[in-house]
Amino acid sequence: MKHRVGSVEVICGSMFCGKTEELIRRLIRARIAKQAVQVFKPIIDYRFNHAKVTSHSGVDFDAQPVEDSQAILKMLEPETTVVGIDEVQFFDDGIVDVVEQLAEQGLRVIVTGLDTDFRGEPFGCMPELIARSEYVDKLHAICMVCGETASRTQRLVNGKPARYDEPIVVIGAKEMYEARCRAHHEVPRD
């Protein structure tokens, strides 16, 4: 079943807020509606299962790991009407054009990603995707310090907040990241 008009949906927020779980929920509903679904993820996201997108709570959905944004176009099947892209912030700069091209072809494109990096600064392509999308949902986690609503991702190195000059992309999960509220998010500078 083809869509009359394509669209872009962005699911964003900090780590542990349920982005991938929400993506999977939407993909399952699309399948129930007999829509052809294809899901992609960056090949560098090796945390759980290589050929699945997997939430931190263990919910998963089949996905194709890809090297770069252009691979999505090459692997797109003709019958696909819904495209899911997990961890979109890890893709190259071409991902915005790929997402736009898919939507212009009449596809429903659902992307998830961290809207800010561990420093609390806009992450990669996310600001532009948010601006260009039809729908944006910002999810929140629970601060691991105080239990309030968390909107930030805290990277930890040996149990202490990562310094500002640390690399932006370091793949990990609960062993090195926590959700934090604004008050408890720390990024020491020299």
The residues carrying an active-site annotation are 87
Contact yes or no for 130/155 (Cβ under 8 A):
no
Give the neighbor-by-neighbor strand order of the sheet with 177-180: 160-161, 152-157, 177-180
Q: Which amino acid is at 117?
A: D
User: Tokens 């629970």 map to which residue?
Assistant: 142
**Burial (Cβ within 10 Å: 0-12, 13-18, ≥19) of residue 3:** middle
Residue 15 has which token pair?
Answer: 């780590």
